[in-house]
Structure 1
Amino acid sequence: MRRVLPFLLLLAACGDPSTGPKITGAPQPGGTVVVTTKPSEVARPSLGPAPDNLHGVDWLRATLPAKFCGVEEPVQIEDGSAKATSTTWGEVEVVVNPVKAVWFGDVDADGRDEAAVNLYCENGGHTASSQLAFGLVVVRSAKGALELIGEISTTTMRDDAPHVPLLAQPKFEKGAITVRELWYRPSDVNCCPTGASLTRWWVRDGTLKADPAVQVS
């Protein structure tokens, strides 16, 4: 429970956050996250056994990737977090978001829900200022195993932002996931980002490709 208070509206934050590489100016669209709609097309390592119904998975004790944080190999989550080494930030902690751990929806139109697991990584300080990056890990159940579809990372970092952007409210539909991204203007405090953008990630030609981000506030 130690991570719930610092994350709730980021009220426990103090000082400047540690951030990753920054993009100058207004929010910019992101790149491409590879998604395979047919498991046979691309060999993907299993993340461990999984029931057909992903609503029954204990995400606080799952094996999950965290490349959005520069972690090259999947990490074993225990009690909601795991220590790992990032190629960007060095020693980090990968955390399942204690406020909202996972969203569900059917993006590959097979009649079963996929899961978007809500993760962030931090430098171990356990405050909002220690948060380094946020990401959604999209997975499915395939032949009794948990299989990675892809990762969605934030795309709207400003060079003058006081905190890294957040991800919220993914909406699943046939062939796409629309993600709401909350980003910070220079005058914003850690608790309260005032910028918001929507990015739709489409399943096209076996991949999940992002349309340009659309600023909504």
Structure 2
Amino acid sequence: MRRVLPLVLALAACTGPEPGPKITGQPEPNQTASATTPPASSAAAGPTLGPAPEDLRSVDWRQATLPAGFCHVGKPVRLSDGTARATSELWGSVEVFLDVDVHYGDVDGDGREEAAISLGCDNGGGTASSQLAFGFAVVRSARGALEVVGEITPTTMRDDATHVPLLSEPKFEKGAITVKELWYRPSDANCCPSGASLTRWWLRDGALKADPPVQVS
């Protein structure tokens, strides 16, 4: 598989980035992450992606069908050896790729694991400047099918950022998933985002919905 960690790809970049859609505003400084009382989680059925085993750890994610809304692709994509060509409503022809790791935990409280699959998309250039977006597709096995719980996307991006934000370290708890967002200040090189925020995504009414991000660096 030709894909490597986003930061490794970034080290090879020597041109300016082609940032994705920008979110107005920037993180508030000196905030401290705080706990919120979780709402009741929902196990409402989501869109299905095909048959699935009870144990998601046995799925070959490099060949899976997964949602790619984080890249503005309207339909799920079928990966082949970890990549797929698709049409983005924002960027046109893109490549969606399995990125880094798959993480497991029980977010809906049914005693079975869900999976958060790290995905990225780019314009096919193969460098950091060609990267367009990153996200997590969260899925579960339900009634013999692979079912979409939701997608996790960056909530923090400065208008003057030099690169699109990265996502890492999803932490599962009952009713929520917390992710770390690594974002760029205007002086940051493509290799090295200096900003970090934590965003908690709650499972509400059968969908994942984000709290405001909390800046940690």
Above 0.5 in TM-score? yes
Asked if the contact 1:7/1:127 (under 8 Å) is kept, the reply is no
Contact 2:9 2:128 in 1 (8 A): no
Matched letter for residue 167 of structure 1? L
Identify the residue that residue 90 of structure 2 maps to in structure 1. Answer: 88
Alpha-carbon distance in 2 for matches of 1:6, 1:210: 23
Question: What's 2:105 paired with?
Answer: 105
8 Å contact from structure 1 (residues 69, 86) kept in 2: yes
Q: Which amino acid aligns with 1:60?
A: R
In the other structure, the counterpart of 2:129 is: 129
Pair 1:38 & 2:40 matched: no
Q: Retained in 1: the 8 A contact 2:137–2:151?
A: yes
* Counterpart-to-counterpart distance in 2, 1:145 and 1:65: 14
Deviating beyond 4 angstroms after TM superposition, the runs of 4 or more aligned structure 1 residues are: none
Alignment-mate amino acid for residue 214 of structure 2? V
C-alpha change, 1:170 and 1:159, in structure 2 (3 Å) is same
Give the distance between the partners of 2:164 and 2:184, measured in 1 at CA. Answer: 7
The 1-side partners of 2:6 and 2:208 are apart by 32
Q: CA deviation at 1:83?
A: 0.1
Whether 2:62 is the aligned partner of 1:56: answer no
TM-score of the superposition, structure 2-length normalised? 0.89
For 1:131 and 1:9, how far apart are their aligned partners in 2?
9
Q: Deviations along 1:163-202, whole A, 9 cap, x unmatched?
A: 0000000000000000100000011001110100000011
**How far does residue 7 in structure 1 lie from its aligned partner after superposition?**
4.6
Q: What RMSD, in angstroms, separates the aligned Cα atoms of the two structures?
A: 1.7
TM-score, normalisation: structure 1: 0.89
Where do 5+ consecutive residues of structure 2 fail to align? 29-40
- The letter for the 1-side match of 2:43 is T
- Residues 46 and 209 from structure 1, CA distance in 2 versus in 1: closer, same or farther, beyond 3 angstroms? closer
Matches of 1:110 and 1:36, distance apart in 2: 10
Shift of 1:23: 2.7
Aligned match of 1:167: 167
Matched, 1:177 2:183: no
Letter of the structure 2 residue corresponding to residue 121 of structure 1: C
> Which has the larger displacement, 48-57 or 11-20?
11-20
Equivalences for 1:190-205 in 2 at 5 Å?
Answer: 190-205=190-205
Counterpart of 1:13, as a letter, is A
- Do the aligned residues in 1 keep the contact of 2:84 with 2:95 (CA within 8 Å)? yes
Q: What does the per-residue CA deviation read over 1:130-157, in whole Å, with 9 as the maximum and x for residues that have no partner?
A: 1000010000001111000101111111
Partners of 1:117 and 1:180 in 2: how far apart? 15
Pick which of 207-216 and 109-118 moved more: 207-216
Q: Is the 8 A contact 2:107 2:177 kept in 1?
A: yes
Q: Point out the more displaced range, 1-10 or 83-92.
A: 1-10
Residue 2 of structure 2 aligns with which residue?
A: 2
